[in-house]
Amino acid sequence: MIRLSDGPMTWVATGDSITQAVEHTHGARGWVEHLHERIRWQLERLTDVVVNTGVSGWSAADVLAAHDRLIGRFEPDVLSVSLGTNDCLAGEDGLPEFRDAMHRIIAGASPHTQIVLHTPVLVGVSGRDRRAALPAYCQAVREISMETGALLVDHEAHWLAHHGTDDPIPWLDDPAHPNATGHLHMANHTLQTLGLGNLNPL
């Protein structure tokens, strides 16, 4: 659960295209924008700042290389890191580099920063051959959360609980990118996990 201060807080969400939420929402809000609505309006934290530094196509190594630009200069009170969907294209051989970069991203944050890690969402059936290693990256995120004490938002488990063995395409715009419905589910699951309530009933 996130600790809310009495004063204003800065929230940074970094990651890949799913965090950036470009193209595949077709003009609807992405999950970080939904968090913005909940935090700054519904929770009446009007002077909090929510910054989205997701970059389409990026991996953990890319984010690490741009750490100060994407994270450090904002000195966040809460840092959300959502990566793995692109990293998994390297297969299981890429796991050591992914784990190292994720640990270094976390270590580079200020000691007061509350860290939130997200597992990637499911990909559609038609995209699973290309991203066959994705479950292993989700498990790596869980392990990194335990190793560092970061809060864990387990989207993979949430999507599996809802879709089971069915194709999750109702929540996707293409095999790898959530649509507006998928982003709203991501937002509500994140908010609930962080103890921040619920944006909208689904």
Domain-embedded: residue 14: yes
Kindly state the tokens that stand for 131: 């991203």
Domain-embedded: residue 4: no
Please state, for a pLDDT cut of 90, what percent of the chain lies above it: 98
pLDDT category, 199, cuts 50, 70, 90? confident
Q: Model-level pTM?
A: 0.96
Report the run of H or E that residue 104 belongs to, with start and end. helix 95-107
What pLDDT score does 200 carry?
A: 64
Across the range 140-165, mean pLDDT stands at 98
Task: Look up the domain containing 54 and give its range.
Answer: 10-193
pLDDT category, 201, cuts 50, 70, 90? low
Domain-embedded: residue 49: yes
Number of domains in the chain: 1
**CATH code for position 34:** 3.40.50.1110
Q: Answer for the pair 62, 14: CB distance below 8 angstroms, yes or no.
A: no
Domain-embedded: residue 164: yes
What is the C-alpha separation between 56 and 78, in angstroms, rounded? 21
What pLDDT score does 26 carry?
A: 95
Domain-embedded: residue 82: yes
Domain-embedded: residue 202: no
- From 65, 8, 50, 64, select the one nearest 190 (Cα to Cα): 50
The residue with tokens 């992914």 is: 98
Domain-embedded: residue 1: no
Per residue in 67-99, pLDDT tens? Answer: 999 999 999 999 999 999 999 999 999 999 999
Per residue in 116-144, pLDDT tens? Answer: 999 999 999 999 999 999 999 999 999 99
Domain-embedded: residue 3: no
- From 161, 160, 186, select the one nearest 173 (Cα to Cα): 186
Q: Answer for the pair 118, 190: CB distance below 8 angstroms, yes or no.
A: yes
